[in-house]
Amino acid sequence: MEREGFCVGHAPEQPMTLDRRRFLKSSLAGAAAAGWWLNVPSLARAKGREELIRMTERPPNFESVRSTFTTRITPIERFYLRNHFDIPTVEVASWRLKIRGLVEKPLSLSLPDLQRMPQATVEAVLQCAGNGRALFTPHVPGVQWRFGAMGSAEWTGVRLKDVLALARPKQDAAFVQVQGAERPTMDTTPQFIRAIPLAKALHADTLVALKMNGEPLVPNRGRPARLIVPGWVGDDWVRALVDVEVRSDEPKTFYYDTAYRFPAAPGAPGAAIPADQMKPMTKVNVKSLLGSLSDGDVLRPGIQQLTGVAFSGEAGIDRVELSFDGGKSWTPAQLEGPAMPYGFRVFRHAWKAAEGSHEIACRATDTTGATQPEAPVWNPGGYLHNAIDRVRVQVRS
Amino acid sequence: MNRPLIAAVLLVGAVAWAANESTALDEKTKALVEGQLPEDPARPLVQGKCLLCHTSEYVTQQRLTEGQWQRTVEKMRKFGTPASDEEAKTMVAYLARNWTPDLPPPRPVRAPLPPGSVPSK
């Protein structure tokens, strides 16, 4: 079912590997031939590296392919795309960010206003709460994301706390409600409105970002400004942010009060959960994904370099372990860099592959001791799937 | 016509019918897995009511029970799709008959991101 791997021995019709493309680019660097070679689709299928899996065409929902997840930063051209509604057309010159509600001084800020303020950069994973929904049993309705509704980027912009400081929240401020420029096709459909507690809004790493991976935001990524809520689910990371309302209470709107809720205590798979036992989702849970292999890949015997990523909301990754015997024994993978909150930590392992069928499992543990379960916590929305990742491959000479 | 001959004709007929049925089933499953909306009197309803706000993959990637389809259609009516009780019933029956929990998963479709997703070089 999962056939988007880019490694040794895959079917000839599949796109070439990123590494191979990079190699070609560097080995032919400077030669006019390089551009020509890479731009001939029949030869290079170079565009293949920019292809994702289209979940829905309208509104556009695309998930990244597994091979995306071998680097700390996810390139924008391979980054997933998730929308509830059609992507809004925003005129940057007339765009304003309004700060209102329980504030001493309501504000209306333009893009130059934000650009003139001190800028900060945070590296953080953006993950759709429904990433992995397709992997739940029994099935739940919604976009059937498997593993690619996530990515890590370097986000640059203004600290939300600096913006709020200009507006001066009043004594009873407790929540910050946020909304972007997108609107549903029908007026009767609930608008996409979210809220975060004031403490998270005032955290130094919560940003109104103007850039992604050093590039000004493009329309589908939230031009001109989007919210960055590091470690928290993607629903809060509102794009084309236009409205910030400081409130004393939580909004009663559909996408906060009804949807995007998670059971306070786990129940039996498939069981209905009373509304009063559902809480708004906040932090993303610990997760790891093997990026260098996909189900059904055929490898040659010998040393195979396995690579993947791990992350855990506001915590860092302490260890990633791999199992080649159905979870009986676990081998620690090598981790890149230090344990940091929010972002991907890349793991690697040199696997001595012997002939036969293999199932490779990977499991991350974060700096708080939280680890990935055998089975996800079933919930009616299909949110926060973080069961141990498993990939099945064949090794033959 | 003697009895063995009748039996033989019936047997051949039954085998042909069974083969045809199983082929038909495979073709139908294949079409569903590939994201098609099967021909049905309810099809134009789904096209007219559901595809106002989204494309058909929102329907064809689901694998749901009748109860889940019922709740989904009710949610969409609350969101504003203009369907009468009778139309909703017809749609739920069509959806629940085709996109069942045991239908194999949808075939992944690779495609480039829409314009406006990537900074121009």
Instruction: Dump pLDDT digits (tens) for A213-262.
Output: 999 999 999 999 999 999 999 999 999 999 999 999 999 999 999 999 99
| Span A95-106, pLDDT tens digits | 999 999 999 999
pLDDT number for residue A33? 38
Burial of A166 (0-12, 13-18, 19+ CB in 10 A): middle
Minimal CA separation from A63 to chain B, in Å: 9
| Span A150-189, pLDDT tens digits | 999 999 999 999 999 999 999 999 999 999 999 999 999 9
Q: Do A62 and B111 touch (CB under 8 A)?
A: yes
Contact list, B121 vs chain A (CB under 8 Å): none
pLDDT number for residue B16? 52
Rounded Cα–Cα distance for residues A15 and A23 (Å): 15
Rounded Cα–Cα distance for residues A66 and A93 (Å): 38
pTM for this predicted structure: 0.86
Rounded Cα–Cα distance for residues A389 and A151 (Å): 16
Residues 6+ apart with CB under 8 A from A263: A273, A277, A278, A279, A377, A379
| Span B86-114, pLDDT tens digits | 999 999 999 999 999 999 999 999 999 99
Contact list, A218 vs chain B (CB under 8 Å): 116-119
Q: Do A141 and B57 touch (CB under 8 A)?
A: no
pLDDT number for residue A6? 32
Of the candidates B57, B116, B119, the beta carbon closest to that of A55 is on B57
Rounded Cα–Cα distance for residues A195 and A189 (Å): 19
Q: Per the structure block, which two tokens stand in for B99?
A: 């996109």
Contact call for residues A335 and A347 (beta carbons, < 8 A): yes
CB-based contact (8 Å) between B48 and chain A? Answer: no
| Span A286-340, pLDDT tens digits | 999 999 999 999 999 999 999 999 999 999 999 999 999 999 999 999 999 999 9
pLDDT number for residue B24? 54
Minimal CA separation from B110 to chain A, in Å: 4
- Of the pLDDT bands very low, low, confident and very high (cuts 50, 70, 90), residue A266 is confident
Contact list, B102 vs chain A (CB under 8 Å): none
A7: pLDDT strictly greater than 50: no
Q: Which of A30-44, A100-114, A163-177, B18-32 has the lowest mean pLDDT?
A: A30-44
Closest-approach residue (CA) in chain A for B61: A144
Q: What is the dihedral of CA B63, B67, B69, B71, to 10 degrees?
A: -130
pLDDT number for residue B11? 59
DSSP-assigned states of every residue in A100-167: EESBSS-EEE-HHHHHHS-EEEEEEEEE-TTTTGGG-SS--SS----S-SEEEEEEEEEEHHHHHHHH
Rounded Cα–Cα distance for residues B3 and B23 (Å): 30
User: DSSP 3-state assignment of A394?
Assistant: strand
Q: Do B105 and A134 touch (CB under 8 A)?
A: yes
A136-149 burial string, b = 16+ CB within 10 Å, else e? Answer: beebbbbbbbbbbb
Give the percent of chain A with pLDDT over 70: 87
Of the candidates B61, B78, B81, the beta carbon closest to that of A144 is on B61
pLDDT number for residue B10? 60
A22: pLDDT strictly greater than 60: no
A47: pLDDT strictly greater than 70: no
A12: pLDDT strictly greater than 80: no
- Of the pLDDT bands very low, low, confident and very high (cuts 50, 70, 90), residue A8 is very low
Closest-approach residue (CA) in chain A for B118: A77
